[in-house]
Amino acid sequence: MKTVRGIKIVSNDESQLRSLDELMRVFGSAKRYAFNRLLEGRNAKDIIKHLPHQFRLNKRYAEDAVLLVQSLISSRRELLPMRLEDVQAKIEKTEKKIDEYQHGRKAPKNIDLPTCLGGLHQRLEKLKAKEAELKHHLDQGTIPRVIFGGKENFYKRLKGKITNEEWKDLRSNQLYARGDKSKKGNLNIRLVYDHNYL
Protein backbone atom coordinates (compact mmCIF):
# COMPACT_ATOMS: atom_id res chain seq x y z
CA MET A 1 0.00 0.00 0.00
CA LYS A 2 1.25 3.47 -0.88
CA THR A 3 0.51 6.50 1.28
CA VAL A 4 1.47 10.01 0.28
CA ARG A 5 1.77 12.70 2.93
CA GLY A 6 2.05 16.39 2.25
CA ILE A 7 3.48 18.19 5.23
CA LYS A 8 3.90 21.76 6.38
CA ILE A 9 7.05 22.41 8.35
CA VAL A 10 6.70 24.86 11.20
CA SER A 11 10.05 25.93 12.59
CA ASN A 12 11.67 29.02 14.00
CA ASP A 13 15.12 27.56 13.41
CA GLU A 14 16.42 29.14 10.21
CA SER A 15 19.45 26.82 10.06
CA GLN A 16 17.18 23.75 9.97
CA LEU A 17 15.08 25.29 7.20
CA ARG A 18 18.23 26.13 5.22
CA SER A 19 19.44 22.54 5.67
CA LEU A 20 16.11 21.24 4.38
CA ASP A 21 16.22 23.63 1.41
CA GLU A 22 19.73 22.45 0.59
CA LEU A 23 18.67 18.79 0.84
CA MET A 24 15.72 19.43 -1.50
CA ARG A 25 17.98 21.30 -3.94
CA VAL A 26 20.51 18.45 -4.05
CA PHE A 27 17.76 15.82 -4.31
CA GLY A 28 16.16 17.77 -7.20
CA SER A 29 19.51 17.93 -9.01
CA ALA A 30 20.06 14.21 -8.48
CA LYS A 31 16.57 13.47 -9.77
CA ARG A 32 17.12 15.50 -12.97
CA TYR A 33 20.55 13.89 -13.46
CA ALA A 34 19.06 10.39 -13.03
CA PHE A 35 16.24 11.25 -15.43
CA ASN A 36 18.66 12.28 -18.17
CA ARG A 37 20.93 9.25 -17.63
CA LEU A 38 17.94 6.88 -17.84
CA LEU A 39 16.86 8.51 -21.10
CA GLU A 40 20.39 7.98 -22.42
CA GLY A 41 19.92 4.26 -21.72
CA ARG A 42 22.11 3.90 -18.64
CA ASN A 43 21.36 1.13 -16.15
CA ALA A 44 19.38 2.18 -13.06
CA LYS A 45 21.70 0.22 -10.73
CA ASP A 46 24.75 2.02 -12.12
CA ILE A 47 23.04 5.39 -11.63
CA ILE A 48 22.15 4.50 -8.02
CA LYS A 49 25.82 3.66 -7.36
CA HIS A 50 26.99 6.90 -8.98
CA LEU A 51 24.53 9.37 -7.38
CA PRO A 52 25.93 9.29 -3.80
CA HIS A 53 29.41 10.25 -5.08
CA GLN A 54 28.14 12.91 -7.47
CA PHE A 55 25.62 14.57 -5.14
CA ARG A 56 26.63 13.63 -1.58
CA LEU A 57 23.38 11.76 -0.94
CA ASN A 58 23.08 8.45 0.84
CA LYS A 59 22.08 5.30 -1.03
CA ARG A 60 18.46 5.46 0.07
CA TYR A 61 17.98 8.97 -1.36
CA ALA A 62 19.74 7.83 -4.56
CA GLU A 63 17.34 4.88 -4.86
CA ASP A 64 14.37 7.17 -4.21
CA ALA A 65 15.49 9.65 -6.89
CA VAL A 66 15.89 6.88 -9.48
CA LEU A 67 12.59 5.25 -8.50
CA LEU A 68 10.80 8.58 -8.81
CA VAL A 69 12.11 9.31 -12.31
CA GLN A 70 11.55 5.72 -13.46
CA SER A 71 7.87 6.08 -12.55
CA LEU A 72 7.77 9.48 -14.29
CA ILE A 73 9.22 8.01 -17.50
CA SER A 74 6.92 4.97 -17.46
CA SER A 75 3.81 7.10 -16.86
CA ARG A 76 4.79 9.44 -19.71
CA ARG A 77 5.16 6.42 -22.00
CA GLU A 78 1.80 5.00 -20.92
CA LEU A 79 0.03 8.33 -21.44
CA LEU A 80 1.49 8.92 -24.91
CA PRO A 81 -1.23 7.00 -26.87
CA MET A 82 -3.98 8.81 -24.92
CA ARG A 83 -2.38 12.18 -25.60
CA LEU A 84 -2.19 11.30 -29.31
CA GLU A 85 -5.88 10.31 -29.36
CA ASP A 86 -6.77 13.57 -27.62
CA VAL A 87 -4.86 15.64 -30.20
CA GLN A 88 -6.44 13.68 -33.07
CA ALA A 89 -9.92 14.34 -31.64
CA LYS A 90 -9.10 18.06 -31.44
CA ILE A 91 -7.91 17.99 -35.09
CA GLU A 92 -11.15 16.35 -36.17
CA LYS A 93 -13.23 18.89 -34.24
CA THR A 94 -11.26 21.84 -35.68
CA GLU A 95 -11.57 20.50 -39.24
CA LYS A 96 -15.32 20.11 -38.72
CA LYS A 97 -15.59 23.72 -37.48
CA ILE A 98 -13.63 25.00 -40.50
CA ASP A 99 -15.94 23.07 -42.84
CA GLU A 100 -19.07 24.44 -41.10
CA TYR A 101 -17.82 28.04 -41.31
CA GLN A 102 -16.69 27.73 -44.94
CA HIS A 103 -20.02 26.28 -46.09
CA GLY A 104 -22.19 28.74 -44.14
CA ARG A 105 -23.68 26.20 -41.73
CA LYS A 106 -22.22 28.21 -38.85
CA ALA A 107 -21.41 31.92 -38.47
CA PRO A 108 -18.84 33.45 -36.10
CA LYS A 109 -20.38 35.51 -33.28
CA ASN A 110 -17.89 38.24 -32.31
CA ILE A 111 -15.45 38.40 -35.24
CA ASP A 112 -15.56 38.39 -39.03
CA LEU A 113 -15.35 35.12 -41.01
CA PRO A 114 -11.78 35.55 -42.43
CA THR A 115 -10.35 36.24 -38.94
CA CYS A 116 -12.22 33.24 -37.51
CA LEU A 117 -11.02 30.92 -40.28
CA GLY A 118 -7.47 32.25 -39.97
CA GLY A 119 -7.45 31.43 -36.24
CA LEU A 120 -8.88 27.95 -36.85
CA HIS A 121 -6.29 27.22 -39.56
CA GLN A 122 -3.53 28.35 -37.18
CA ARG A 123 -4.90 26.06 -34.46
CA LEU A 124 -5.12 23.18 -36.94
CA GLU A 125 -1.50 23.72 -37.97
CA LYS A 126 -0.35 23.63 -34.32
CA LEU A 127 -2.38 20.50 -33.60
CA LYS A 128 -0.98 18.69 -36.65
CA ALA A 129 2.55 19.58 -35.57
CA LYS A 130 1.78 18.21 -32.09
CA GLU A 131 0.32 15.05 -33.65
CA ALA A 132 3.47 14.53 -35.73
CA GLU A 133 5.65 15.03 -32.64
CA LEU A 134 3.66 12.52 -30.58
CA LYS A 135 3.68 9.95 -33.43
CA HIS A 136 7.44 10.38 -33.71
CA HIS A 137 7.85 9.68 -29.96
CA LEU A 138 5.62 6.61 -30.23
CA ASP A 139 7.59 5.28 -33.21
CA GLN A 140 10.98 5.95 -31.61
CA GLY A 141 10.00 4.72 -28.12
CA THR A 142 10.91 8.09 -26.61
CA ILE A 143 8.93 10.55 -24.51
CA PRO A 144 8.18 14.27 -24.96
CA ARG A 145 10.44 16.70 -23.12
CA VAL A 146 9.88 17.08 -19.41
CA ILE A 147 10.32 20.46 -17.73
CA PHE A 148 10.98 20.08 -14.02
CA GLY A 149 9.36 23.01 -12.27
CA GLY A 150 6.51 23.19 -14.79
CA LYS A 151 6.16 24.35 -18.37
CA GLU A 152 4.09 27.39 -17.39
CA ASN A 153 6.71 28.49 -14.86
CA PHE A 154 9.48 27.89 -17.40
CA TYR A 155 7.84 30.35 -19.81
CA LYS A 156 7.27 32.80 -16.95
CA ARG A 157 11.02 32.64 -16.27
CA LEU A 158 11.83 33.22 -19.96
CA LYS A 159 9.59 36.30 -19.97
CA GLY A 160 11.13 37.58 -16.74
CA LYS A 161 7.87 37.27 -14.77
CA ILE A 162 9.63 35.24 -12.08
CA THR A 163 13.21 35.55 -10.87
CA ASN A 164 15.91 32.94 -11.36
CA GLU A 165 15.76 32.26 -7.62
CA GLU A 166 11.99 31.63 -7.77
CA TRP A 167 12.51 29.31 -10.77
CA LYS A 168 15.17 27.33 -8.87
CA ASP A 169 12.84 27.06 -5.86
CA LEU A 170 10.07 25.68 -8.08
CA ARG A 171 12.44 23.07 -9.53
CA SER A 172 13.75 22.03 -6.13
CA ASN A 173 10.75 22.04 -3.82
CA GLN A 174 10.26 18.30 -3.53
CA LEU A 175 11.71 15.55 -1.42
CA TYR A 176 10.71 11.95 -1.91
CA ALA A 177 11.23 9.31 0.73
CA ARG A 178 9.87 5.76 0.89
CA GLY A 179 9.15 4.05 4.15
CA ASP A 180 9.88 0.41 4.88
CA LYS A 181 7.59 -1.49 7.22
CA SER A 182 10.43 -3.73 8.44
CA LYS A 183 12.43 -0.62 9.42
CA LYS A 184 9.43 1.17 10.96
CA GLY A 185 9.30 3.84 8.27
CA ASN A 186 12.00 5.76 6.49
CA LEU A 187 15.45 5.95 8.02
CA ASN A 188 16.11 9.40 6.52
CA ILE A 189 12.86 11.13 7.37
CA ARG A 190 10.64 10.57 10.38
CA LEU A 191 7.23 12.20 10.68
CA VAL A 192 6.54 13.18 14.26
CA TYR A 193 3.19 14.63 15.19
CA ASP A 194 3.31 17.70 17.39
CA HIS A 195 -0.12 17.86 19.01
CA ASN A 196 0.38 21.58 19.74
CA TYR A 197 -0.01 22.31 15.99
CA LEU A 198 -3.00 20.03 15.28
Q: Which residues contact 17 (CB under 8 A, 6 or more apart)?
A: 9, 11
For helices 151-158 and 164-171, the axis angle rounded to 10 degrees is 170
Q: What is the pLDDT of residues 97-151, one digit of tens each?
A: 999 999 888 888 888 989 999 999 999 999 999 999 999 999 998 999 988 888 8
The CB density around residue 188, as the number of other CB atoms within 10 Å, is 15
Per-residue pLDDT, averaged over 161-179, amounts to 85
Judged against a pLDDT cut of 80, whether residue 24 lies above it is answered with yes
Are 29 and 55 contacting, i.e. CB atoms less than 8 angstroms apart?
Answer: yes
The confidence score (pLDDT) of residue 16 equals: 79
Q: What is the pLDDT of residue 104?
A: 86
